[in-house]
Amino acid sequence: MTRRIELAIVAVLFFLPAGFVRAQSSPEMTAKQRARSDLRQTALAGDVNAQVQMGVIYLTGDGVAKDDAEAMKWFRMAADQDSALGQRYLAEMYFKGRGVEADNMEAARWLRLSAEQGDAQSEYNLAVLYTQGLGVPRSGKDAVSWMHKAADLNLAAAQLALGVFYENGDGVQADEIEAAKWYRKAVDQESVPAMNSLALLMANSRNTVVRNPEAAVALAQKAVASGSNPDYLDTLAAAYFANGQTDLAIETEEKALAKNPEDDTYKKSMERYLSAKHSNH
């Protein structure tokens, strides 16, 4: 069945939490200014890590006025020295049009350079570009290839996405056993969306190796306890139903519908559970 998950570029730039303001004494400010001055000198001397940090400082306005163009300058310095992190940050600036005109092709070019250096986040993001045809030709095969690389580097988001590819047969032959394997890897890293995906697969699969309604219930309960997404309640309802607990399925689907009453999938699931209950009476 089609997963309720949309792959998206994962933000890689660090932003200060919204509303984060802390009064600083003059000595603290002076010390921070000296630190920035030293960092700038290190960056100007060619240190790529310092260049990336300078870019983040201007992007976030950390003690300076926010300046995307200045941030772009520092990220480019690092990227031009083959810094994988600098290349990844520069790619996002192009992708979002921050400090430069948005350019998906240029974003993809820098992202590829970073990915080719083994940066897992860049490999994941490049895979997403291939799924959407942004800056590169749409290609399920290339998407799977790059997602595999990121997943092999233990990036939980990539492991989850790879599970989706295998479950749906996107760019690869459908294989629920392989899908479950990658979901479990992400679950082992406490990925809540992966808990939800694996629970739903175990509840609905006809493959006897994968199907396990009882385990699906336990995993779906953990997802519900860890997140507020009503899809998690819908999955728990499906797990209860697959486990023969129709009343609990109805009760749980009602909670999902209370959060999102217009969702047609939830409505159809509720109809199925109610029909099953009535037919057993």
DSSP codes, the chain: ---S----PPP-S--PPTT------HHHHHHHHHHHHHHHHHHHTT-HHHHHHHHHHHHHTSSS---HHHHHHHHHHHHHTT-HHHHHHHHHHHHHTSSS---HHHHHHHHHHHHTTT-HHHHHHHHHHHHHTSSS---HHHHHHHHHHHHHTT-HHHHHHHHHHHHHTSSS---HHHHHHHHHHHHTTT-HHHHHHHHHHHHH---TTT--HHHHHHHHHHHHHH---HHHHHHHHHHHHHTT-HHHHHHHHHHHHHH-TT-HHHHHHHHHHHHHHHHT-
Average pLDDT over residues 243-253: 98
198 pLDDT more than 70 = yes
15 pLDDT more than 70 = no
pLDDT of residue 89: 94
Predicted TM-score (pTM) of this structure: 0.87
pLDDT of residue 33: 85
pLDDT confidence tier of residue 29, bands split at 50, 70 and 90:
low
154 pLDDT more than 60 = yes
Interhelix angle 192-204/156-168, nearest 10 degrees: 20
Average pLDDT over residues 221-228: 95
Is the Cα torsion angle 21, 25, 26, 32 positive or negative in sign?
negative
pLDDT tens profile 255-270? 999 999 999 999 999 9
Least confident of 5-19, 33-47, 57-71, 132-146: 5-19
22 pLDDT more than 50 = no
pLDDT of residue 19: 33
Interhelix angle 264-279/246-259, nearest 10 degrees: 160
91: exposed, middle or buried (C-beta count within 10 Å: 0-12, 13-18, 19+)? buried
- Give the Cα separation of 110 and 233 in Å (integer): 40
Average pLDDT over residues 132-150: 96
Which domains does the chain show, CATH number per domain? 1-9+38-158 (1.25.40.10), 190-281 (1.25.40.10)
1 pLDDT more than 80 = no
What's the whole-number average pLDDT of the chain?
A: 90
9 pLDDT more than 70 = no
**Letter string b/e over residues 52-69, b meaning 16 or more CB atoms within 10 A of that residue's CB:** bbbbbbbbbeeeeeeebe
pLDDT of residue 192: 96
For the chain, how big is the Rg over CA atoms in Å? 23
Average pLDDT over residues 56-73: 93
